Structure 1
């Protein structure tokens, strides 16, 4: 019994901390405080939390299942066309629909997010602890709850991101364990939550190619990974049935923001940018660019690069460091190799996104960066600064939640 308590104790702590930090964030809205550190909040309530973008948008497919003949879609909620909601993939709406009989549709958006946030932090702890990726897995998980502040908000309002990141992390875990059926199924769940999970499939191709080059053997279990793109095709089939248009996702309006060449986000004239105050985006690119470089020695590519252009990368091994199998376990090596391919592919797509909210688009890379730099993120110096900044993180979150709300005047389609 004591042994079971010891094993379960971290999970109780994680659940309690997630609930406490979320309720603390919600408290000014629940209590209807009139003034919040100089911010006028007289007309706010918990409805403000429920009204946060993009939560209400997912209620529409949850209620209509993308049926354009449904009176809700026919009524063009928020002035949006029926195919606009094809950009909001079905997995998160299905959970909203499941919780709605108990909580109602608006509250179901945040109940789903809260439950999947707890599950994400649970699995992140399990992932890090089982694969021995940090000496302080519980501490690293606690840091994950607040870093980044944008993620802190996202996990506390109606959003698919916690579910999305959970499925990605679980898929990576089973890929590392070479249980490709589960990796494919969970990757399939991820891609029916948000389409960027397709980048996970591309990353797996890199890992498979490495395994083939090393062993000169084909593992037919790799075929299970086809479930990932296959699941997206099933979503398109659903759209074909409901909308009568297999390609409805690509006709959902101004929702596709991946443009080449990269760095097109730095254009204040574009609708989804609309500002020149973009300096923090460079810091986001810097963090995840450093993550890719830090993981490069685990990729198996550094020797290839050195041999192809020896003059330029003569000292690459010394710069990046050597990775020894006898020091780092094989599973840890394999984990970080998959991390490299995923972060590399995702980073290339991230720098090609033309949208102001790069911080939200980058959330799937966050656990990879935290694990990659876990010694820094669990260091005393970092923790002192993080604790000092916690009030600022909450103030950022409250300020953002008061600003980023959907202009809903008629709640009838959402209730």
Structure 2
């Protein structure tokens, strides 16, 4: 009897501790964005948050449900109707769900909601896999690594949505819930198309584990994207409408963006790409003993090597929690690092505060868009 009582008390204690961790992390996730918002609230300039690309596009898709007129309010940017096919449905459909708040408010609420969900799911994944020394600390710092993520998990952007489905998929696979893992993988692919790459990691894992009966179920992950492209065929007259917006993003040889800056004599940019590729590459290699994480991160990292775009760092955000937070855990959990993390956070906010004034939709186009969203 005493043993049962002790076990029950231990379970209650662990449950209470877990709930406290969830509440704390949820609060920290929201607070991280509120701190960023405060200067814009005080200045009466919160439109700066709403105007960040690609937020206006997603808000417009949420309003129109892809029924885009030829004279849509974003035509000054030369965007065709089919251009909106590259704004995949999960994020805008969630905005639509909360549109009673107003589309701009719903957009920010959606981002913050998925940020909280991503942070909590990452924490649970870390706890169950025992991948790091302190799951609470690692989940917290993942809100700021890389610094760019603080920006994208606070504005109209899909990164936190994508990360939530990524962690949910990996956690499901770890638990042996394979069909659920493949389903969440499918949700990843209709948030950001690169999510389909997680199927490659699962294929490798299933073959290594000789789980032949599970392999056919992997096709579940491709179904959401197939249905989305089928919708594009009927809506835009092009099954591959998603790819019509930018055919030059992927090059046939790796690290071309690095070679471009190096050959042009732009030493600072070239060195940035060199360091970035190196940090992420070493991180991926250090995940080798965590096979599930390794194969997913390795496939995503390899894909990013072929991206020819100055913003490669943003494409690497989806593997940062694995290739940096988990891989460099022995460094990031050291007492010295925790001490200097606070002043580093100040630098992160200075970086993001200044970034917020760039990459904005022009004011008069935004005003016209608001009239459409208000109809």
Q: Supply the distance in 1 between the matched residues of 2:45 and 2:354 (Cα, whole angstroms).
A: 14
In the alignment, is the contact (CA less than 8 A) between 1:87 and 1:249 conserved in 2? yes
- Is 1:236 matched with 2:235? no
In the alignment, is the contact (CA less than 8 A) between 2:284 and 2:327 conserved in 1? no
Report the counterpart of residue 368 of structure 2 in structure 1: 412
- Is 1:341 matched with 2:316? no
- Is 1:220 matched with 2:213? yes
Q: Supply the distance in 2 between the matched residues of 1:408 and 1:61 (Cα, whole angstroms).
A: 19
Q: Supply the distance in 1 between the matched residues of 2:74 and 2:125 (Cα, whole angstroms).
A: 45
Report the counterpart of residue 395 of structure 1 in structure 2: 350
Q: Supply the distance in 2 between the matched residues of 1:129 and 1:384 (Cα, whole angstroms).
A: 23
Pick one of 199, 202, 209 that aligns with 1:201: 199
TM-score, normalization: structure 1?
0.80
Q: Supply the distance in 2 between the matched residues of 1:382 and 1:168 (Cα, whole angstroms).
A: 27
In the alignment, is the contact (CA less than 8 A) between 2:32 and 2:150 conserved in 1? no
Q: Supply the distance in 1 between the matched residues of 2:109 and 2:45 (Cα, whole angstroms).
A: 17
Report the counterpart of residue 311 of structure 1 in structure 2: none
Report the counterpart of residue 15 of structure 1 in structure 2: 26
Segments of 4+ moved more than 3 angstroms: 1-4, 70-75
Q: Rate the CA distance shift 1:27–1:284 in 2: closer, same or farther, 3 A.
A: same
Q: Supply the distance in 2 between the matched residues of 1:268 and 1:254 (Cα, whole angstroms).
A: 21
Q: Supply the distance in 2 between the matched residues of 1:279 and 1:49 (Cα, whole angstroms).
A: 31
- Is 1:279 matched with 2:271? yes
Q: Rate the CA distance shift 1:129–1:105 in 2: closer, same or farther, 3 A.
A: same
Cα distance, 1:3 vs. partner? 5.2
Report the counterpart of residue 60 of structure 1 in structure 2: 60
TM-score, normalization: structure 2?
0.89
In the alignment, is the contact (CA less than 8 A) between 2:118 and 2:164 conserved in 1? yes
In the alignment, is the contact (CA less than 8 A) between 1:77 and 1:413 conserved in 2? no
In the alignment, is the contact (CA less than 8 A) between 1:189 and 1:231 conserved in 2? yes
Q: Supply the distance in 2 between the matched residues of 1:398 and 1:188 (Cα, whole angstroms).
A: 34
In the alignment, is the contact (CA less than 8 A) between 2:182 and 2:218 conserved in 1? yes
Report the counterpart of residue 329 of structure 2 in structure 1: 374
Q: Return 5+ residue gaps in structure 2 as ranges.
A: 1-11
> How many aligned residue pairs are there?
354
In the alignment, is the contact (CA less than 8 A) between 1:67 and 1:73 conserved in 2? no
Q: Supply the distance in 1 between the matched residues of 2:248 and 2:17 (Cα, whole angstroms).
A: 47
**Partner secondary structure for residue 409 of structure 1:** helix
Q: Supply the distance in 2 between the matched residues of 1:188 and 1:291 (Cα, whole angstroms).
A: 26
Q: Rate the CA distance shift 1:75–1:27 in 2: closer, same or farther, 3 A.
A: closer
Cα distance, 1:4 vs. partner? 3.9
In the alignment, is the contact (CA less than 8 A) between 1:26 and 1:46 conserved in 2? yes
Report the counterpart of residue 254 of structure 1 in structure 2: 246
Q: Rate the CA distance shift 1:278–1:25 in 2: closer, same or farther, 3 A.
A: farther
Report the counterpart of residue 351 of structure 1 in structure 2: 305
